[in-house]
Amino acid sequence: MGVFLPAHKKMNLLIYKTQDELLNDIAKYIIKIAHNSIAEQGCFNFVLTGGNSPKELYHLLATKFKAEIDWSKVYFFFGDERNVLPDHDSYNGLMAKESILAPLNIPAEQIFYVDTTLAPEKAAIEYKKAITKHFKGADLSFDLILLGMGDDAHTASLFPETDILKNKDVTVDAVYVEKLSTYRISFTAPLINKAKNVAFLVFGKNKAEAVKHVIEKQEKNTRLYPAQLIRPVDGNLTWFLDDESASLLDA
Ligand SMILES: O=C1O[C@H](COP(=O)(O)O)[C@@H](O)[C@H](O)[C@H]1O
């Protein structure tokens, strides 16, 4: 593992030789935050990422590391969701259900799925309401938001050139993603940036260009590289990368 000098005072950049090392380390990082959150406030508010990258991590948490967390005190949320019905293969909630939530027998009251049986705008409004109710009027500051990143530098469903990038509210929004000809429901960047901890989980050669643009920011252009918008206001930002996704970074 290599550790680079942080570009932002609260940013850690962790680079791993193998995917195995990376996944074990990010699992331990999650466990630590879970322990601290539960000790401080009695629960852990954990936002899951979607896509393919986190499946193995979720499986690890539900098996090898199962005994390390008091799962009865964990609340699960989704940073973004695809506008498909909950039984659809690409519903992020279904992937999470199969890889971590069902194996751990997490009760429904602890899981905040996005209701995609509603129209996207309505689903976003209802999701924000559910989050606000859970936080009982307190600041919407999650303990940990896990994020992935696409090879186009999108994160959550903050895609390049989309309207949601202009949304300055701490909220959940519906966004039409023209290149996918579909709607998504996503946390806005300001909501993500309120978190106490934000962690990117990124691996693979195909992400190397995007990683370079987002981390080194030679060109600061958040419309083209939306993951550049992620800079927690008071929280910590950690990047978990493998050698391949980090291969274009200056040493
Ligand atoms: O569309 C999405 O993609 C990103 C990255 O996904 P991956 O398959 O390349 O790991 C993900 O973070 C996001 O939640 C998801 O909806």
The string of pLDDT tens digits covering residues 26-64 is 999 999 999 999 999 999 999 999 999 999 999 999 999
Atom of ligand 1 nearest to the CA of 52: 8
Residue 171 lies in a domain: yes
Q: How far is Cα 97 from Cα 79, in angstroms, rounded to an integer?
A: 15
Res 4: pLDDT = 45
Residue 129 lies in a domain: yes
User: Ligand 1 pocket check: which of 77, 157, 239 to mutate, most ligand atoms within 8 Å of Cβ?
Assistant: 157
Structurally, how many domains does the chain consist of? 1
Q: Could you give the count of Cα atoms lying within 13 Å of 121 in the half-sphere of its Cβ?
A: 0
Q: Is 148 in the pocket of ligand 1 (CB under 6 A)?
A: yes
Per-residue pLDDT, averaged over 80-94, amounts to 98
Residue 187 lies in a domain: yes
Q: Is 49 in the pocket of ligand 1 (CB under 6 A)?
A: yes
3-state secondary structure of 198: strand
Residue 3 lies in a domain: no
Residue 28 lies in a domain: yes
- Bridge pairing between strands 11-16 and 2-4: antiparallel
Q: How far is Cα 23 from Cα 26, in angstroms, rounded to an integer?
A: 5
Residue 1 lies in a domain: no
Helix, strand, coil distribution of the chain in percent, nearest 5 = 35, 20, 40
Q: How far is Cα 66 from Cα 63, in angstroms, rounded to an integer?
A: 5
Q: How far is the CA of 155 from the centre of ligand 1 (A)?
A: 7
Q: How far is the CA of 126 from the centre of ligand 1 (A)?
A: 22
Residue 42 lies in a domain: yes
Atom of ligand 1 nearest to the CA of 78: 14
Q: Could you give the count of Cα atoms lying within 13 Å of 36 in the half-sphere of its Cβ?
A: 12
Residue 249 lies in a domain: no
> pLDDT digits over 162-219, tens only?
999 999 999 999 999 999 999 999 999 999 999 999 999 999 999 999 999 999 977 8
Residue 5 has pLDDT above 60, yes or no: no
Determine the structural domain holding residue 51 and report its residue range.
10-242
> pLDDT digits over 116-145, tens only?
999 999 999 999 999 999 999 899 999 999
Provide the 10 A C-beta neighbour count for residue 168.
Answer: 9
Q: In sequence order, which residues have a C-beta less than 8 Å from that of residue 102 and are 6 or more positions away? A: none
Lowest mean pLDDT of 3-17, 82-96, 177-191, 202-216, name the range. Answer: 3-17
* Helices and strands of the chain, counted as H and E runs: 6, 10
Q: How far is the CA of 142 from the centre of ligand 1 (A)?
A: 19
Residue 6 has pLDDT above 70, yes or no: no
Residue 69 has pLDDT above 90, yes or no: yes
pTM reported for the whole predicted model:
0.96
Q: Is 51 in the pocket of ligand 1 (CB under 6 A)?
A: yes
pLDDT-based confidence at residue 2 (cuts at 50, 70, 90): very low
Res 9: pLDDT = 57
Atom of ligand 1 nearest to the CA of 79: 14
Q: How far is the CA of 240 from the centre of ligand 1 (A)?
A: 15
55-125-73 Cα angle (round to 5) = 50
Q: Is 55 exposed, middle or buried (0-12, 13-18, 19+ CB in 10 A)?
A: middle
CATH, residue 131: 3.40.50.1360
Q: How far is Cα 42 from Cα 38, in angstroms, rounded to an integer?
A: 4
Q: Mean pLDDT over all residues of the chain?
A: 95
Q: Whose CA is nearest to atom 12 of ligand 1?
A: 148
Q: How far is Cα 51 from Cα 32, in angstroms, rounded to an integer?
A: 24
